[in-house]
Structure 1
Amino acid sequence: MEAASYTLHHHRYSICSIMVRYCIAIRGEPKSGMSEATFFEKEIDIFANEQLSEDFLCHVNPKGQVPAITTSSLDQPLYDSVTITHYLASLYPSLMPPSHRQLISSLIDLLHSINFFSLSFAGSKNGDPAGHIKQEIQRRLRKDVSPRYREALEYKLAVHEAEKVYGLGSDFVTKMISRTESLLFICQQNLPEGARWMLGLPQPSALDAHLVTFIARLEDAGRTNLVPPRLSTYCADARETEEWRRIMQGRKTAPGR
């Protein structure tokens, strides 16, 4: 079977991009009968608003977010990190071993019920990142653009207001903190004493890729008080692995941290 190739559109400081890149790094062996896939990376400069370009919104991800995967093997791009993770697991079974697939999937879903933007940027001293993007979308909408691009920008604006602008409200952030505490309590219960990886698996799974990245972002955003000591140690150990070091190149998970 001919090996498939994929392009991962990402940004080095996008938490969901890091989760997917970490999944790819730890993916293990392909399923029986399948050749090793090739993954190319294309960095989208979200600080320069490349995610708002007509090409990206109309051909890659209408939500104007990273990560996204494009490939000739699929009819359309994949642009949700959980969806991408499940697709990767269908190619690389060790990401979600059959014996633990349901629990891994449910814990990843629970993790992604948390608004990462809220916990990363609420109270930020680096200006108003949500407001900046909103203003840029509105600026483009005032220009003479194609009907297709206008529709795409209007959809992006609605998504941005729902997920980012609203996500910085104090009541909403408090809700996300509570949800984080509940999630991490459950995860700690699923990390056996002495185990290196979640659920006591012998090698990291997709759950580890998402959870380690999330904990690292909490710590890098100054929310270490939310992380139980045992999970902090678990994350620190993962951040010393070759795979994490190769992805992050010495960077933290957020700029200016």
Structure 2
Amino acid sequence: MASTDYTLYYNTWSVYSQMVLLTFAFRGQPKDAQTEMAIKKQEVDIFKGAQVEEVPVLTNSHVLPKPIADSLDITYHIAKHYPSLLPEEKKHEIIELLRKPAEAYAQKAAVEAKIAQPGISERYRKALEFKMTIVQNEKINGVTPTEIETQKRNTTTVLDKIVKLYDSASGPWLWGRTSPTALDVHLAIFLARLHDVGHAVLVPEPLVAFYHMTRETKEWGNVYQGRKTIIGV
């Protein structure tokens, strides 16, 4: 029986929620029986009183002094219990690379995809359009062509660093490991999001194989259930 029961508040279409859900799915073996985690999942509707920024949130009144409301912090907390996610010899490199990818433009694309859905109510559409205004003004700085090109260059820079860590001949995961780290998990979702928003061309060829490999795992299938990373594609 798990010693610590948590509640994870998430939304299916929040990329940050997906990162936490897939990290837990790939958690591996616990450090010991006492540190094994049990997580109850509670879905939050981000268009009925909540925002994308409010999920995921991990709570446990007995263990946590306050809820954890950042996807990376939740990832690190899970990794304390499941050390294969953050192996000591790669810890600093993984943490540094996990900070890099930005998702603001992908968030805009997710909202756009929802607005484009046929059959949604006018009230819902207006709510989405209002959310798009917030995303546009506060998250993406207008999404000017210059900003988009900057984000593409940043993505290419990060992926060029990561691709050097991948050698499928040595093992299925980064550094030739036989089990995924937290970086593998977040990378898989980042690559999938690039595909889903029409930027697959930014993915280096070796990481295309990595992307397809992760999508064929049972862990990916259990989390995504055949869905894309964004709605409406």
Task: Give the shorter-chain TM-score range.
Answer: 0.7 to 0.9
Aligned pairs for 1:65-214 (under 5 A) are 65-72=54-61, 73-111=63-101, 114=102, 116-121=103-108, 124=112, 126=115, 131-133=129-131, 161-164=137-140, 166=141, 168-194=143-169, 195-214=171-190
Aligned partner letter, 1:94: S
1:60 maps to none
In structure 2, stretches of 5+ residues that fail to align are: 117-124
- Post-superposition CA distance 1:52-72 (Å, at most 9, x none): 5xxxxxxxxxx8421111111
1:254 and 2:193 equivalent? no
The offset of 1:34, in angstroms, is: 2.2
Q: TM-score, normalised by structure 2?
A: 0.85
CA contact (8 A) 1:7 1:70 kept: yes
* Number of residue-to-residue matches in the alignment: 220
- Provide the identity percentage: 31
Shift of 1:2: 6.7
Separation in structure 2 between the aligned mates of residue 176 and residue 65 of structure 1, nearest angstrom: 24
What displacement does 1:108 show? 0.7
Q: 1:119-141, CA deviations, whole angstroms, 9 ceiling, x for partnerless residues? A: 45359464698752277xxxxxx
Q: 1:94 to 1:221 in 2, by over 3 A?
A: same
Contact persistence 2:36–2:81 (CA under 8 A): no
Q: CA deviation at 1:184?
A: 0.8
CA distance in 1, matches of 2:187, 2:142: 21
Contact 1:122–1:168 (Cα < 8 Å) also in 2: no
Does the residue aligned with 2:50 lie in a helix, a strand or coil?
A: helix
Deviations 1:69-91 (A, max 9, x none): 11111111111111111111111
Aligned to 1:140: none
* Runs of at least 5 residues in structure 1 that lack an aligned partner in the other structure: 53-62, 136-156
1:110 aligns to what SS in structure 2?
Answer: coil
Task: Note if contact 1:119-1:177 (Cα within 8 Å) is conserved in structure 2.
Answer: no
Deviation at 1:20, TM superposition (A): 0.7
Indicate if the aligned counterparts of 1:120 and 1:221 stay in contact, CA closer than 8 A: no
Which residue type is aligned with residue 26 of structure 1?
F
Code of the aligned partner of 1:251: R
The 8 Å contact of residues 118 and 167 in structure 1, kept in 2 or not, is answered as no
* Cα 1:167/1:6, change in 2 over 3 Å: farther
Deviation at 1:230, TM superposition (A): 1.4
TM-score by length of 1: 0.77
Q: 1:228 aligns with which of 183, 192, 204?
A: 204
Alpha-carbon distance between aligned partners in 1 of 2:176 and 2:107, rounded to the nearest angstrom:
29
User: Which amino acid in structure 1 is aligned with residue 21 of structure 2?
Assistant: R
Tell me how far 1:100 sits from its aligned partner: 1.2
